Amino acid sequence: MNTLDQLKQFTVVVADTGDFNAMRAYTPRDATTNPSLILKAVQQDAYKPLFLETVAAHAKKSVEAVIDQVLVRFGLEILKIVPGRVSTEVDARLSFDTQATITKARELIRLYENAGIDRKRILIKIASTWEGIQAASALEKEGIHCNLTLLFSPVQAAACAEGGITLISPFVGRILDWYKKRDGKEFNAEDDPGVQSVRYIYSYFKNYGYKTEVMGASFRNVGQILALAGCDLLTISPELLNQLQSMNEPVDRKLLPVKVTQDTLIKLRTDEAAFRYSLNDDAMAMEKLAEGIRLFAADSRKLDALVASA
């Protein structure tokens, strides 16, 4: 078997793209999107007709409502390819507004259900701010399943688990980026701080019996992916999926769902005060969360402009 097929023996492989044609060759179970990936896709010749058709069909609606339709339209196309779930992201500009996030998530689910899709096949992506986690926890009680993104720290992960969130997406590559910039050096897979973060979170969840799924995300190279073989899920770009499919390197399972006896797995406080202090105390997590929200918000504004000018 090639390396990708070996990896699938231990881990659910998820395609991280808005380019649904590109994912067909890799047979992922699930797929994830975000504003940046959708923006990239709608500017490609292959998807412009789909984008323009969707905008035209809802021309009398507000830009915000049309964006929702575009996001869901891409999600519907993806669901024709993957047998599992698609993640659709709430506008990052709502990251600090719990009620607005809940309202937007309900609207996205309504659109999917109107198109005949069971809500069990949808994950609503929400930034892992305190407000976002509270929104997701409330949504989960309504049967709306969530994927908490832009996650960089153990306290974010722990708060999601305590909130009964379906899935989290720790950002491996962006964590590595921060440490490479700070330390001015390269890291191998075993020393990679992004890899180490996901391994810690995975062990923490298994140790305390949390049901929240861990999905490593934001990979920079195949070494990071293989170092997390055994993680519940890994969401991978088509470029890295192609590399894995072209390789025949043996895959060893690195993560096992077993309890461990480590002092480092002391249970974390996840009340609001402890959450905010712990996040603030982690310079990397605080900076990357803020940066990620800004970048996704910027791409959302670009998508707004495309819709307005279509």
Active-site residues, by number, are 125
**Cα–Cα dist 227/219, whole Å:** 11
Q: Residue 69, exposed/middle/buried by CB under 10 A (0-12, 13-18, 19+)?
A: middle
Host H or E run for residue 121: none
End-to-end CA distance of the chain: 46
Task: List CB contacts of 120: < 8 A, sequence separation 6 or more.
Answer: 85, 145
Greatest CA span in the chain, whole angstroms? 59
Task: List CB contacts of 134: < 8 A, sequence separation 6 or more.
Answer: 98, 163
User: H-type helices in the chain, by residue range?
Assistant: 3-7, 20-23, 35-42, 48-57, 63-79, 98-114, 130-141, 154-162, 172-183, 193-208, 222-226, 238-246, 272-281, 283-309
